[in-house]
Structure formats: structure tokens, C-alpha cells
Amino acid sequence: MRLGVLDVGSNTVHLLVVDAHSGARPLPAYSHKEELRLAELLDDNGAITSEGVDRLAATVTAALQVAEDQGVEDLLPFATSAVREAANAEQVLSRVAEETGVKLEVLTGEDEARLTFLSARRWFGWSVGRLLLLDIGGGSLEIAYGQDEEPDAAVSLPLGAGRLTTAWLPGDPPDATDLRTLRRHVRAEIARVVGEFSRFSAPDHAVGTSKTFKQLARIAGAARTAEGPYVERRLTLAALEEWVPRLAGMTAAERAELPGVSEGRARQLLAGALVAEAAMDLFRVEELEICPWALREGVILRRLDHLRAT
């Protein structure tokens, strides 16, 4: 069957269309993405502005048309931190449902961590043993650990690359004092949850998902996306420690000229690098492997498991 996953995130609204069958891996068929930057369309009270709601409803309507054009039989719409944490989240959800007919499922941060962990486990399989997952989104950082498909520990922290850039790094390039302040904040937030994971055995394999990790790996020398999902891509802590000060000295326009870095995400790449460096350092990860599957694939896999069980 042809499934569509509509992901309303902090940076983009992304429709991923896949051909999926129970017991088989989902095959990507079509991708439609609109850069909305919903997390930046907030008023002083933390509510999504009327302009933001209008744009969201229009973007969802356009995605619905694409889904219809692509023959999608089952649409799985969900929203993450940008909607979840908005002061007017209920009103936003009601407005979108009223205007488009789409009822967005709002995932909790723990849901995000668990579903992304599921997708990484299915991608790498059982042979990698105990898995540590790090995922940096626009609004949050997800961390999960386990040796099964359901993680033993899963947490979500408000350390997304877009959120941090907007709140902590207004300069372009950023002010050195702002950068140090953000670095302390990020490390303090991550350090608070390290203890929840240290009671478990050390992971056998560490994995990074999301656009931020993919871009960081690319500028550190990993293969291009065009070379396909089965090419091994890795990111080392040593490479991050070298790149963080380099990124800090660049403007957003200069970062956008780096290999694999899109113009829309160039400004927030530095904040993402700070989070990645801190997480790898505090969790004592010297190297991680980039997983091409993430939250959207986890939502698809959960749906297929449900269909198989009924």
C-alpha cells in the first residue's frame, strides 16, 4: 500500500510518500517539503501567530493535494515540538482540522525518541547490540538507549538547533559571549540526564539521525546524499571539536557554501554542532554512525506493525 507521512516540524512540513507492505522495508516514492519555520512564528507569549496558523493550514492543504496526486491510501499526520509547546496548541490543531480535515497527532518528546529509536534499530538490526541514539531536530534533542526495539531509556530535551539559534545566538556571526553562554546551557541540560543512562551497560553502537547530524558528517568528509543511503557515514567527536570554532567564525551565508549545507539551515548549524559535540562528549561517544532513517520512518514502521497485528 502507499502510505504518506505528514511531519509538521519546527523547521519544515514534510510529506514523505512510501510504498509499504507488512514485513518489507518501506520504499520511498516521493518527497514534498515546505520550509515553514513554525518555531520562529511565535508571539511574545509563545503562541503561534495568526500568520503562522494561516501558513500552516495552507501548507497542509498543499501537502494533501500532493498526497492525492501520488495515490496515497493512508495518511499519517503528526506534529512535534513547535506545535506541542505552543501556548495556543489546541487552537492551532482545531483550526488546521477545521480548514483541512487533517487531525494532527501531537507526539510527545518521549514518543519522538522511541519512534526514532525503532527506526534506527530496524535499519541496523540486532547485530549492532546495545544502541545509543542521538537525534537533533529544530526544537528538541532526543536521546534513547536499548538492546530491543523498545528503548530502556528515552528522553527529550529542549535543545533543538532552531530553537537555540533563535533564543541564544542573534548575531551573524554570533557574539563570543553568547556562544559561551549557550555552550554552558547545553552542557548543563544534557548532563542532567546522563545519569538516567549510566546505570546501563555502555552502548555497542552509537547512532545519529536528523538533518543536523547528516550535514555535520558531510562537512567533516562523509559521502554525499547522492551516493545513496547504504554508504556508511560517520561523524567523530574529534571532527566536531575542530569544526565548532570554524563554524562560529562564519556567517550564515558562508556556512551555506559548505558541502551539504542548505541555505535554510545554515544559520542554525552552529547551535546543532554545539549540541552534537556536547552530547557525544558527555555520553563518551568518540564516533557515531549516521542513520538514514529517523522519526518519519518510525511512524511508518509503527503503522505497519499495527496493521500486521490486526
Domain boundaries, the chain: 2-106, 109-295
Q: Do domains 2-106 and 109-295 have the same CATH topology?
A: yes
Cell of 195: 545519569
Res 204 pLDDT > 80? yes
Query: Is residue 97 predicted with pLDDT exceeding 90?
Result: yes
9 closest CA partner among 80, 112, 58: 80
Give yes or no for residue 78 having a pLDDT over 90.
yes
Report the CATH fold assignment for 109-295.
Nucleotidyltransferase; domain 5 (3.30.420)
Q: Is the CATH number 3.40.50.10470 carried by domain 2-106?
A: no
> pLDDT at position 309, please?
77
The pLDDT of residue 15 is 98
Over residues 158-196, the pLDDT tens digits come to 999 999 999 999 999 999 999 999 999 999 999 999 999
Using one digit for the tens of pLDDT, what is the confidence trace for 239-268? Answer: 999 999 999 999 999 999 999 999 989 999
> Can the peptide bond before residue 245 be classed as cis, meaning omega within 30 degrees of 0?
no
CB 36 within 8 A of CB 13: yes
- For the entire predicted model, the pTM comes to 0.95
User: In this predicted structure, what is the pLDDT of residue 308?
Assistant: 79
Q: ∠ CA(115), CA(40), CA(243), 5° rounding?
A: 70
What helix, strand, coil percent values describe the chain, rounded to 5? 50, 20, 30
What rounded mean pLDDT belongs to the chain? 96
Rg over CA atoms, the chain: 19
Would you state the pLDDT for residue 306?
Answer: 87
**Residue 45 burial by CB count (10 A; 0-12/13-18/19+): exposed, middle or buried?**
exposed
pLDDT exceeds cutoff 80 at 77:
yes
Measured CA to CA, the distance from residue 28 to residue 192 in angstroms comes to: 38
Higher-confidence residue: 39 or 69? 69
Does pLDDT of 22 surpass 90? no
What pLDDT was estimated at residue 296? 96
Burial code (b: 16+ CB inside 10 Å, e: under 16) for 247-263 equals bbebebeebbebebbee
pLDDT tens digit string along 113-125?
999 999 999 999 9
